[in-house]
Amino acid sequence: MASSGLVLIDKPQGFTSHDVVAKVRKAVGTKKVGHAGTLDPLATGLLVLGIESGTKLLTFLVGADKTYLATIRLGVSTVSDDSESEVVETAAADSLALITPDRIIREISKLTGVILQRPSSVSAIKVDGKRAYDLVREGVEVELKSREVSVHAFELLSSSKSPEGFIDLEVRVDCSSGTYIRALARDLGQGLGVGGHITSLRRTKVGSFEVESANQISELEDLRLTSLAEAASDLFETITLDDQQVTDLVHGKRISPKVSVSSTVAGISEAGKLIAVLEPVDSDLKSVVVFQGELND
């Protein structure tokens, strides 16, 4: 049986998240593999996968903040707000000539902080039980509702002219889960009156996990696995459990912590194994999820 834990993958362009999951399943010899947060085929970068009991930790990663590097092309609008669909509108050269660095910075500032964002119509959001991007492919016009997201940082790294005369911006975005970088590109372009879309997108961070620590897709025969205890320690504060507390948790009982606990914690056995994710209830701790498989390793 495959070991339990998390696997960090640096997803190449052209692969779907499902493609990566399928390859990892084959490499580790188990079907119990899942991921925390889809990346489009256009996007590259960090994909966090759970193996065996590690899939139980993915729930706590889905809502984690994320960091992206992206190239935004100003002057062209597309159906999907990225470079993988047909062009809707192209800005005139005289309109692009009016775009200054100061104007770009001002519009970026309007898209920073807590904002209302309308997701791209080709997102994976479900509408009446079907994915929005499937409806668009069927010719259905989709207008998704705006939702509140947090853009913690939207930083302009550089600006250049493309060979066609458009403006290419290299940006870094720190944001809450559920933020669409393609929609930021679209809205920035609209704010500047010239349209915009993503030509490249790379996710560099999910929660505390960084792409620099990720496996390459060519390294699947020798995957570096992040243990459950190590992964949980990155996600939560930890407490050490004695043998009796471990037994009680496995049998569904609450335990009394030996230290003050005010938020969700990871309970680690004296042998260094992740036993449970715990939350405080009055003066006790109850399990959110128990990792009984760790007791048998």
For the annotated catalytic residues, the residue numbers are: 40
Instruction: Give backbone dihedrals phi and psi of 285, rounded to 5 degrees, phi first.
Output: -120, 135
- 278/262 Cα distance (integer angstroms): 11
- 100/84 Cα distance (integer angstroms): 27
Place of tokens 């205890």: 229
Closest CA to 151 of 128, 173, 182, 120: 173
Tokens of 10: 């640096």
Three-state SS annotation for 72-86: EEECEEECCCECCCC
Tokens of 151: 């853009």
Q: Are 142 and 135 in contact (CB under 8 A)?
A: yes
Tokens of 265: 């914690």
